[in-house]
A = this chain, B = another copy of it.
Amino acid sequence: MKEIKPIKIKKDMKVSELVEGMRDMGFGAGNIYRASEIMKKMFDDKECLVFFGVAGAMVPSGMKQVILDLLDKTGVFVTTGANLTHDLIEALGNKHYQIEGEINDSELREKGFDRMYNVLMENSVYEKLEDFFRANADEIKKCKDIKEFLWKLGELSPGEGILKKCYEKKIPIFCPSIADSGIGLMMWGLKTSDKEISIDAFEDMKEIIDLSWTAKKTGVIYVGGGVPKNFIQQSLQFSKGADYGIQITTDRQEPGGSSGAPLKEGISWGKMKKDADFVDVFCDATIALPLIYAGIK
């Protein structure tokens, strides 16, 4: 039990000072500090393998660089097909856009923009994506599991991004729901003309389970829940349970889904150690993750 001390905002205050000031606050602010402290611990612990799971349209919202920076510290990456599709779309030279004020979706449809809350993307980006897949079909068809396929996309990608970095740094990247994405649609396109393409849905499970099984200690960072969180959690059942944990989600626990389940629920499953160091952060990840990460820079 520590005394609450009011935070004082100063001119030219550093983000690290702001987060430090949140140490003595309650409610969400205290949890931001705590997440930053735990992130530092898991990154500093040489025995700890960090599993980083990212759901939600993080790339379109401008979180790509934060993810790239965190990939230098984390050992395993799991994300959604959507994030990787948007990553590839940007690597191919396309942009995402911010909008404000009243939204008219019918008008956006006519103008050729796809909306994700207050972010837009031109629907025409799919053309470049198709060109990329067609041009690289011969290389792609050699891939036999999803991780290999994603690394291949990173190798072939002409621009910087998550796929490129995971390939170059040999970061194990998993995306069990890859069919559920623009990339999935492209693969469906290739397969209609080439029956030989075959990427196994279960093959790379061995690798993430091995990583979990052999790690001395494990840490988890879950952004937004979804398949990335759940896929890491199920792999962690083959570990001794995570030693460190950070979860950033705005989902509720009451409707019973994995995305809103607090980390402590994982103790019952053996996904989290009972005396692990962990915190649930209830906050939009585009606000919380930059803050938490800045707190350890």
Contacts and interface: CB of A to CB of B under 8 A. Distances in A.
Given A117-B256, A284-B283, A98 B29 contact: no
Nearest to A12: B14
A14 B239 CA distance: 39
Interface stretch (A40-48, A99-107, A164-172): A99-107
User: What copy number does this chain have within its complex?
Assistant: 4
Contacts of A4: 60-62, 95-98, 119
A26 B261 CA distance: 14
A10 B66 CA distance: 10
A12 B188 CA distance: 46
Given A98-B2, A184-B202, A199-B202, A254 B27 contact: yes
Interface in A224-242: 224, 226-227, 230-231, 234
A251 B257 CA distance: 11
B255 A285 contact: yes
- Chain B CB count within 10 A is highest, among A28, A109, A227, for A28
B259 A1 contact: no
A237 B79 CA distance: 23
Contacts of A28: 254-255, 283-284, 286-287
Closest 8 CB pairs of A and B: A28-B284, A25-B62, A26-B119, A29-B286, A105-B267, A177-B177, A6-B65, A26-B61
Interface of A: 1-18, 21-22, 24-32, 34, 55-57, 60-66, 69, 82, 95-100, 105-106, 108-109, 113-120, 123, 146, 176-182, 184-185, 187-188, 191-192, 197-203, 205-206, 209, 224, 226-227, 230-231, 234, 250-259, 261, 264-270, 274, 282-288, 290-291, 293-294, 297
